Structure 1
Amino acid sequence: MLDIAICDGKLAMTDGLETTLEKIAQKKIIPMNIEVFLSGKELITYVESGTYFDIIFLDTEMIQEDGITVAEKIREKDKNVLIIYVTSHITYIQQVFPAPPFQFLIKPVDDKLMEQCLLQAYKELGDRDSYFRYTYERIHYKIFMKDILYFESRKRKIYIVTKKKEYEFYGKLKDVEMLMRSGKMMFLRIHQSFLVNYRHVEVMAYDYVVMDNGKRLSISQERRKQISKQYGVMEEIFHIE
């Protein structure tokens, strides 16, 4: 789930950006939650209360607080959020900012550029190093997410398969799948028993995948159409030129 904030002093602008994002989400199968703010002060208060966003679309020219100042205050609380400045003045792009943005969008925002910008941000979030944490026999473990080839459910246990080793813990694959979704991880639920890491899929066929360790895993019949669509979206996201 992508948590996104839109901050602009004009309601027509926030409505337009929100509508465009919702269309992209539906088209690209990207679950997202969107919050709209009509002032920088409101957004700062929200962030300072402990709410974190993945992406913030921020107007640079609001009346009470300019977007640059708002971004600086947000950075004091959250160093990782991707800030995208939305501006009417192309001269902003040539400036150096205390809180450098991930990207700029020029008003009026073109739908295709918005889509490209969002997919690049989604890729950036997916590329960040993160861990999968679990507990087994009262011992806590963590594994780099990028090292996990797939999760396999067998009886009451989940097996974590990497190139070097296999780990195990008690749990439900559905819970792991929901965790991957909330964490912006690129995993595909190809079967009741398998949750695979897109980055380690070497071959994608209609009814099976081959992981980069040579393991062939079946895609269940009822999931094939959806998996094909999801895989195509991921290919597009991770092959941006």
Structure 2
Amino acid sequence: MHKLSAKIFIFLRPKPRSDVTSSKIAEYLLKIKAVKIDVGNPFQWSSGWKSPIYCDNRLTLSHPEIRDFIKHGFVERVKAEYPEATGIVGVATGAIALGVLVADEMGLPFIYVRSKAKGHGMQNLLEGDVDSNGKYVVIEDLVSTGCSSVKAVQAVQATGATVLGTISIFSYGFPQAKAAFEETGTQYDSLTNLKTLLEKAQEFDYLQADEQATIFDWQQDPANWNGQE
């Protein structure tokens, strides 16, 4: 009876398309274990931070149905938020393939930003034919602190081109990321986020309410979080 009532409620009051997309992507990420959650045995990031979550969105590229859904999620968001976009930017390495998929679907030029400039030849940081009068949207697979994404934004801005905004598959929602993007004068958004992911994780019994609260505590101060008390 409870499940039937829930379905009727959704039929009568459908969620906005963006909410449906966010929820479905969160479900997909958990299903293929692109996101792993372990509050009791935290992961250690390369930065040295301890984290109850590990995210590898590159796994989505190996699943055609999921890859296609995410691609269309990006396309819909770009069209809705940045209809004036004239080009797409991918960030190395995880978002190069994603960016190509989005640019191809939209019929727009594509460039990508290296993690660091080449040490030979033209020593390029940006690869592709950059239009200094262009209006670009940056595509990311993941935004944590925002450092790598912001470097990509600044690299494009340095050419004289305009960056309209950055969109990622997933964002942790760290305060540091918000501050970093504000310094560039650009916006950032994600197709799904930590709150939606945790709601889905609880729905599928991947974690309990007290574990969810612990993860939200980590989100507010990840640099100083040392694990579950």
State TM-score, norm by structure 1.
Answer: 0.30
Rg comparison, structure with higher value: 1
Greater RCO between the two (CA within 8 Å, min separation 6)?
A: 2
Greater strand fraction, Structure 1 or Structure 2: 1
Greater helix fraction, Structure 1 or Structure 2: 2
